[in-house]
Amino acid sequence: MDQLRTTDPEIAELIAKEARRQKSVLRMIPSENYASDAVLAATGSILANKYSEGYPSRRYYQGQENIDGVESLAQARARALFKAEHANVQPYSGSPANMAVYLGLLGKTGRVMGMDLAAGGHLTHGAKASFSGTYYEVVHYGLFRDSGLIDYQGARRLAREFKPQLIFTGASSYPRVIDFAAFAEIAREAGAHLVADISHISGLCISGDHPHPFPHVDVITTTTHKLLRGPRGGMILCREELAARLDKAVFPGLQGGPHNHATAAIAVALKEASGPEYAQYCHQVASNARALAQGLLERGFSLITGGTDNHLVLIDCGAKGLTGKALAVALEQAGIVGNANKIPFDPRPANDPSGLRLGTPALTTRGMKEPEMDLIAGLVAQVAASLGNAQALAHIKELAAELCSGFPAPGIHL
């Protein structure tokens, strides 16, 4: 940072401001976390200087002996951690990883079934705003209106009628367990490949807090920067018989040279995730989410599905006469950062939805536990009752910062 301050003081100051923000607020966006000093060191390393198109021992440029070692280590750690036959650690993020699956398994066209975005799915699972809904023929399965749970029988009927070639399971705002075995039966009946996008729950699948996709699915995709606490990146894990097709789809199909500094940081994060401390962390993430849900319910909030099995809760803000965006803005003013989110069967638009999504991964990384979750639920309730009251929100922000001060933020040194 000393050199950066000399070379570019404007950027250095913005980074410092962001560090102060991340240190002093309650970061509760479920897809965010804190990376360790070791992960950050690898991310900022001189490996960013090297071009390495291709794969270990199959490169197009010379000078790869160290890069091959880095990527081979990341691959081996990914295979071991996720019980996978093959691992590709080159995708630049989760969406490119999913795009490679489409290209590798379907080519340019094909029939796909995925979870509806409004039901909690991801853009790349067939949403019209995404490449996946633009270039592929897609149908979406959804949820029961009364419970908010996945309608597996409805998905089965839809697959029988539509006969998809590829089925995506996984979600970005679904707070309950996903039954990969049930989806495997649906995929077998349809003759489809089954892909589990576990970007949000990867750590919980490792620790046993959520059922593991293998051996039920053909392919797993995941980001590396959420529960895994790695750099921004993605991975594809698959059966050996699909390896060549998916590797070719990543490179040269979609990408050029891999980001070697990110590959090294992924390897570090995977090593960190292989120990008992990480499993305990994931247990605590899930326990904290349940405590947060209970605290919110006790304070009169309505939660989609009535609670959570994983790392997040989804609040129906309309039950309190609020919108998700209004509550998200007020929470940020009070030092609590979540995100507005559509809820199932939401009558409101995506840019001003009815829901608010809160998660526990980052707070758990800081060392917070169930008592802090109850305190935070109380702060959220205070914010909901104080919209438009700048003085009250400023006071809550002080309380949030005081809470944060007792739990150091990894990777941030001011």
pLDDT for 274-298, tens place per residue?
A: 999 999 999 999 999 999 999 999 9
Tell me if 213 is assigned to some domain.
Answer: yes
Query: Do 189 and 80 lie in a common domain?
Result: yes
pLDDT digits (tens, 9 = 90+) for 206-256: 999 999 999 999 999 999 999 999 999 999 999 999 999 999 999 999 999
The DSSP 8-state label assigned to residue 411 in this structure reads: T
Query: Do 261 and 236 lie in a common domain?
Result: yes
Query: Is residue 335 within 8 Å of residue 26, measured between CB atoms?
Result: yes
Q: d(Cα 272, Cα 76) in Å, to the nearest integer?
A: 14
Query: Do 131 and 255 lie in a common domain?
Result: yes
Query: Do 372 and 283 lie in a common domain?
Result: yes
Amino acid identity for residue 241 in this structure = E
Query: Do 307 and 361 lie in a common domain?
Result: yes
The residue from 23, 226, 229, 325 that is catalytic is 226
Tell me if 31 is assigned to some domain.
Answer: no
Q: d(Cα 41, Cα 237) in Å, to the nearest integer?
A: 26
Predicted confidence (pLDDT) at residue 147 exceeds the cutoff of 90: yes
CATH number of the CATH domain containing 208: 3.40.640.10
pTM: 0.96
Q: Is 226 a catalytic residue?
A: yes
> Half-sphere exposure (CA, 13 Å, Cβ side) for 393?
18
SS3 content of the chain, % helix, strand, coil (to 5): 50, 15, 35
Tell me if 195 is assigned to some domain.
Answer: yes
Q: d(Cα 192, Cα 188) in Å, to the nearest integer?
A: 6
What is the extent of the structural domain holding 108?
Answer: 40-272
Query: Is residue 290 within 8 Å of residue 175, measured between CB atoms?
Result: no
Nearest to 238 by CA among 124, 125, 91, 83: 83
Let me know the angle formed at the C-alpha of 235 by 197 and 182, rounded to the nearest 5 degrees. Answer: 25
**What average pLDDT does this structure show over 59-76?**
98
Tell me if 13 is assigned to some domain.
Answer: no
Query: Do 304 and 254 lie in a common domain?
Result: no
CA distances for 351 relative to 324, 325, 341, 342, 355, angstroms: 9, 8, 9, 9, 11
How is 331-366 classified by DSSP, letter by letter?
A: HHHTTEE-EEE--TT--S-TTS-SEEEEE-HHHHHT
Tell me if 22 is assigned to some domain.
Answer: no
Q: Which helix (H) or strand (E) holds 223?
A: strand 219-223
Of 204 and 117, more confident: 204
The residue from 53, 179, 185, 374 that is catalytic is 53
Mean per-residue pLDDT of the chain: 97
Query: Do 379 and 401 lie in a common domain?
Result: yes
Per-residue confidence (pLDDT) for residue 352, from 0 to 100: 94
The residue from 43, 124, 221, 223 that is catalytic is 223
Residue 10 neighbours by CB under 8 Å, 6+ apart = none
The residue from 50, 79, 232, 348 that is catalytic is 232
Predicted confidence (pLDDT) at residue 388 exceeds the cutoff of 90: yes
Query: Do 201 and 310 lie in a common domain?
Result: no
**How many domains does the chain divide into?**
2
Of 272, 295, 327, the last residue of a domain is 272
Query: Do 76 and 209 lie in a common domain?
Result: yes
Tell me if 9 is assigned to some domain.
Answer: no
Per-residue confidence (pLDDT) for residue 10, from 0 to 100: 98
Tell me if 291 is assigned to some domain.
Answer: yes
**What average pLDDT does this structure show over 74-79?**
98
The residue from 71, 116, 197, 309 that is catalytic is 197
Peptide bond before residue 252 is cis, with ω within 30 degrees of 0 = yes
Query: Is residue 231 within 8 Å of residue 265, measured between CB atoms?
Result: yes
**What average pLDDT does this structure show over 262-267?**
98
pLDDT digits (tens, 9 = 90+) for 21-44: 999 999 999 999 999 999 999 999
Per-residue confidence (pLDDT) for residue 414, from 0 to 100: 82
Q: Is 51 a catalytic residue?
A: yes
Q: How confident is the model at residue 118 (pLDDT cuts 50, 70, 90)?
A: confident
Q: Is 8 a catalytic residue?
A: no
Of 257, 272, 287, the last residue of a domain is 272
Amino acid identity for residue 333 in this structure = Q
Predicted confidence (pLDDT) at residue 143 exceeds the cutoff of 90: yes
Query: Do 95 and 228 lie in a common domain?
Result: yes
Query: Do 246 and 353 lie in a common domain?
Result: no
Query: Do 236 and 289 lie in a common domain?
Result: no
Tell me if 322 is assigned to some domain.
Answer: yes
Per-residue confidence (pLDDT) for residue 1, from 0 to 100: 85
Q: Is 21 a catalytic residue?
A: no
| Furthest CA-CA distance within the chain | 63
CATH number of the CATH domain containing 360: 3.90.1150.10
Of 216, 250, 272, the last residue of a domain is 272
Peptide bond before residue 175 is cis, with ω within 30 degrees of 0 = no
